Amino acid sequence: MAPRALWKGQLRLSLVSIPVEIFSATKSGARVSFRQIHKPSGKRIRYEKSVPGIGPVKSDDIVKGYEVENDEYILLDPDEIDAIKLETKKTFELVQFVDACEISPLYFDKPYYITASDELAQDAYRVVRDALRAAGKVGLGQVTMRGKEYLAAVKPCGDGLLMETLHYEDELREADQIFTDIEDEKVDKELLEVATSLIDRKSAPFDAGAYHDKYAEAMQDLLDAKIRNKKTPRVRTGDDDSGGGNVVDLMSALKQSLKDADGKKKKKPAKKAS
């Protein structure tokens, strides 16, 4: 199944606009995921939004709150938030170019692939790709996706272009606050030479395929073995995703409560007639 584009628009370089599409470079379904099951009943665990003393609440009654003091919030209506949401702009303009090594790895957040939307756009797309590669530069700009504006860097990646969203400066912690207890002293020269030699011996070109998530592989092996084993406990949840399950459970609980109440009344000894 072909991936779905997260963004469609124009990649602009000065007066040149190239129709492009942006795709996520990572797969969210690549890792094993689980659901929580209530073991005695075999039913899926559900979470519902509730208020202490009130119980479950409707989604329409929920608004966002911003804490201004301890346990004091200002409330914002959905309409107020929608009014200031950035519209999904259809232009991603490269406004500055920097050396690739100038950007600290701390700033990089998430990778995306940029592709030309059609064959007519491929010529201009290849020109931008090859120009960035020849100059050894990374293009910077801001792109709006899903109502949020991201700072992003664009650079060549194989036959195409890679976009990486970047953290804004105010999103990063100062390293000095974390490393404040590390004393600034010279290390032992002999130990340094040994460590440097070890690094030299183990140096090699980066190969991502040489690394695997051993925990995920072991977990998948366990799951495969349990699937093959006919003695593995199994349940059929039979869950109805329509959301009516909570109503049925509540009705059952109320009926059971009435039965319990009637049972207590019957067991209560009758008063003697005066």
Q: Select the more confidently predicted residue: 163 or 234.
A: 163
Q: In which domain, by residue range, is 28 found?
A: 1-36+81-172
Is the pLDDT at 200 greater than 90? The verdict is yes
**Residue 127 within any structural domain of the chain:** yes
**Residue 115 within any structural domain of the chain:** yes
Residue 32 is part of a domain; what is its CATH number?
2.40.290.10
**Residue 209 within any structural domain of the chain:** no
Reported as type and span, the H/E element at residue 152 is: strand 148-157
**Residue 205 within any structural domain of the chain:** no
Q: Which pairs count as long-range contacts for 135-139, CB under 8 Å and 24+ apart, including other chains?
A: 135/97, 136/99, 136/100, 137/97, 137/98, 137/99, 137/100, 138/97, 138/98, 138/99, 138/100, 138/102, 138/103, 139/13, 139/94, 139/96, 139/97
In the structure, what pLDDT confidence band is assigned to residue 235 with cuts at 50, 70 and 90? confident
Q: Residue 175's pLDDT is what? A: 87
Report the mean per-residue pLDDT for the chain: 84
In the structure, what pLDDT confidence band is assigned to residue 78 with cuts at 50, 70 and 90? confident
Is the pLDDT at 163 greater than 50? The verdict is yes
Give burial (CB, 10 Å; 0-12/13-18/19+) of 9.
Answer: buried
Q: Residue 234's pLDDT is what? A: 78
**Residue 164 within any structural domain of the chain:** yes
Give residue-wise pLDDT tens across range 1-40.
668 899 999 999 988 899 999 999 988 766 778 888 888 8
Q: Residue 133's pLDDT is what? A: 95
**Residue 263 within any structural domain of the chain:** no
Instruction: State the total domains in the chain.
Output: 1
What's the whole-model pTM score? 0.68
In the structure, what pLDDT confidence band is assigned to residue 77 with cuts at 50, 70 and 90? confident
**Residue 26 within any structural domain of the chain:** yes
Mean pLDDT of 228-243: 70
**Residue 130 within any structural domain of the chain:** yes
